[in-house]
Amino acid sequence: MPATLEPATQPFGHRFARHTTDLLRLAWPVMLSRAGILLMAFVDIAMLGRYGGGEVGISNLGIAIFIPVLVFSIGLVSGMVPVVSQAYGAGNWQECGYAWRRAMSWGLLISLFGTVGVWFGEIWLQLPLFGLTPDMAARGGVVCIALAPGLLAQVLFAACAFYMESTRRPMAGLLAMVLANILNAALNWVMIFGHLGWPEQGAVGAAWASTAARFAAMGLMLWIILAQRDAIAAGVRGIRHGLWGPGGWRDGRMMRRLGLSAGLSNGFETVGFAAMTLMAGALGAAALDAYAISHNLVSTLFMIGLGLAVATGVRVGQAIGAGQPQEAAFAGWTGLAVAAGIMGTLGTLVFAFNTGIARVYTDDPALIARTAGLFVIAAFVFMPDSLQVVMGQALRSMGDAWVPLIGYILSFIVAMIPMGWWLTTHGGWDERGLVLSVAISCILATVLLSGRFYALSRRLG
């Protein structure tokens, strides 16, 4: 059951230490769980890099279609985090489970549409805007078909993980992702390289392995939730309440409104990142491979920031549910400060050890040199990329749905895509211009969202 929040009467140092300790206690399993999602992609790239034949770039073309749809779909479901965390903060345990059931129905619907969209990914890869050859588009389309079923599993896994994290039980999601990554690596060994009598499938085999691992993680999370003690009292089991769960479509309105904001925000951001990948493809196979590795590192470490964002949002929502807006504001700023410290440190390490990290991904000397140069610029992406997602989640946990969306549109659509296009087509930059565009756009998003959080905190407190 919910822990009682302490009043905002402590000295600043003690208060910050209390908030930081509670944030990290909740955040570290969430960080590792989210990192596990893209750790599968890291393992895929590392193993495909040793398989050869440009399979890293082909795999990343499929991922460039899969990830925006996945992130948008998970964003639509993530509106349950403020709803569940506020119910938890108010001590309404049964409503937490009811919200999960509504989210599962909603997640199933949207993931079915998303699966169809990814399945026909070759159509998007053939768009003239991206400048891909017909062969590259066709090979990337086959990867999309293998990835598509896993979208449903990943979205429903996310709904389960959000429920457990919002009720302060984040270890379940971590356990599921650890097992999924072990399974993914084992299946990669079989399906990429053709061991145990399986045909060599390269990038397509890696995609099917990830899909199987995602279904395994979803199944484990469902079992953990439905088998919990007092499942009926927790609201996750009991009398059927119709297609849309307890309370029906109407009671899911807040979840859908906040989820639509998150989905569109995340979707615009991820579409911008996907456009960077496809622009890298137009620069040639070598540029695409280097950018794919750099993007994977940024995306993997971003999961740490996303874990901090989810934990920050949960704590902000619980404070709002408990009627403590000042504590909610302090929780948001604490999340921002902790993310700056952690991600700034990681960026410094990447800057200092860029070549060594590149060797983890590939043993090709030319690709190592090219990727190491990208890492020098990517080191400046980690902090602002994490800060903007922390602020976005904190704002939604305060019930702010639409103003943050404007910030994401300005940063990742209006600014990032044209900037990347101009730098690589007229500015004389190679793929390094794409990474520079990402860094500048993340800084812009951080400034805009932090300003909004400051204004909203003053209004509420």
User: pLDDT per residue over 392-428, tens digit each?
Assistant: 999 999 888 888 899 999 999 999 999 999 999 898 8
Single pTM value for the model: 0.79
Task: Answer for the pair 447, 389: CB distance below 8 angstroms, yes or no.
Answer: no
b/e map of 357-372 (b: 16 or more CB within 10 Å)?
bbeebbebeebbebbb
Tell me the DSSP string of 105-174: HHHHHHHHHHHHHHHTHHHHHT-GGG---HHHHHHHHHHHHHHHHHHHHHHHHHHHHHHHHHTT-THHHH
Q: What is the pLDDT of residue 8?
A: 54
Please tell me the predicted confidence (pLDDT) of residue 2: 47
Burial environment of residue 242 by CB neighbours within 10 A (0 to 12, 13 to 18, 19 or more): exposed
- Retrieve residue 62's tokens: 């499929």
Q: Are 332 and 453 in contact (CB under 8 A)?
A: yes
> What pLDDT, on the 0 to 100 scale, is given for residue 129?
60
Cα 176 to Cα 427: distance, rounded to the nearest angstrom: 45
Q: What's the pLDDT score for residue 1? A: 45
The segments of the chain whose pLDDT lies below 50 read 1-4
Q: Which two tokens stand for residue 172?
A: 């379940």
- Do residues 389 and 453 make contact, with C-beta atoms less than 8 angstroms apart? no
Residue-level pLDDT at 304 = 85
pLDDT tens readout for residues 127-161: 766 667 777 788 788 888 999 999 999 999 999 99
Question: How far is Cα of residue 422 from the mean position of the Cα atoms in its chain?
Answer: 27
